Structure 1
Amino acid sequence: MKKLHTLSAATMMIAALGLTGCTVEPESASSEAPSDGAQAESEIVLETNQELHDALPEDIKDAGTIVAVNSGSFPPYTVIDSNNELSGATAEVGEAIGQILGVEIEHNTVDGLASVLAGMDAGRFDLDLGPVGDYEERHAQATFIDWVQEYVVFAVEKGNPESITGLESVCGTSIAVQAGGSAERVIKEQSDKCVEEGKEPVDVQSYKDQPSSVLAVQSSRADAFFSSQAPLTYFVEQSDGALELAGTGKSNGFDDILQGALVPKGSPLEDTMLEAFKILFDSGRYEEIMTEYGLEGNMIEAPGLNMGS
Structure 2
Amino acid sequence: MKSTLFAATALLAVSGVALAQQSNLPPLSKNQALHDQLPEKFRTAGKMISVNNGSFPPYEILEGQKLNGASADLSDALSEILGVKIEHSTVGGLPARLTGIDAGRFDFALGPVGDFKSRQEANDFVDWVKEYVVFAVKAGNPAGITSLETACGTRISVMAGGSAERVITRAAEDCEKNGQPKLVVQSFTDQPTSILAVRSGRADAFFSSQAPLSYFVQQSNGELELAGVGQSNGFDDLFQGAVVQKGSPLGPVLLEGIKLLQESGHYQEIMTRWGLENNMLLEPGINLGK
TM (norm. structure 2) is: 0.90
Aligned alpha-carbon RMSD (Å): 2.2
Q: Superposition pairs for residues 273-288 of structure 1, below 5 Å?
A: 273-288=254-269
Q: Superposition pairs for residues 56-95 of structure 1, below 5 Å?
A: 56-81=38-63, 83-95=64-76
Partners of 1:197 and 1:120 in 2: CA distance? 40
The 10-residue stretch of structure 1 (247-256 or 209-218) with the greater mean CA deviation from structure 2:
209-218
Amino acid at match of 1:152: V
Contact 2:128/2:284 (<8 A) preserved: yes
The correspondence for 2:6, drawn from 2, 23, 27, is 27
Tell me by how many angstroms 1:285 deviates. 0.9
Amino acid at match of 2:140: G
* Percent identity of equivalent pairs: 55
Partners of 2:249 and 2:217 in 1: CA distance? 40
Equivalent position of 2:106 in the other structure: 125
Contact 2:158/2:164 (<8 A) preserved: yes
Equivalent position of 1:11 in the other structure: none
5+ long unaligned stretches in structure 2: none
Change (3 A) 1:295 1:201: same
Partners of 2:132 and 2:14 in 1: CA distance? 20
Equivalent position of 1:165 in the other structure: 146
Q: Superposition pairs for residues 1-309 of structure 1, below 5 Å?
A: 26-33=5-12, 36=15, 38-40=17-19, 41-44=22-25, 45-81=27-63, 83-309=64-290
Amino acid at match of 1:75: P
The 10-residue stretch of structure 1 (44-53 or 91-100) with the greater mean CA deviation from structure 2:
44-53
Tell me by how many angstroms 1:49 deviates. 1.3
Tell me by how many angstroms 1:32 deviates. 5.0
Change (3 A) 1:190 1:119: closer
Contact 2:95/2:161 (<8 A) preserved: no
Going by fraction, where is helix more abundant, 1 or 2? Answer: 2
- Count of equivalent residues: 285
Tell me by how many angstroms 1:100 deviates. 1.1
The 10-residue stretch of structure 1 (127-136 or 183-192) with the greater mean CA deviation from structure 2:
183-192
5+ long unaligned stretches in structure 1: 1-24
**SS in structure 2 at match of 1:31:** helix
TM (norm. structure 1) is: 0.85
Partners of 2:94 and 2:109 in 1: CA distance? 10
Change (3 A) 1:286 1:165: same
Change (3 A) 1:167 1:275: same
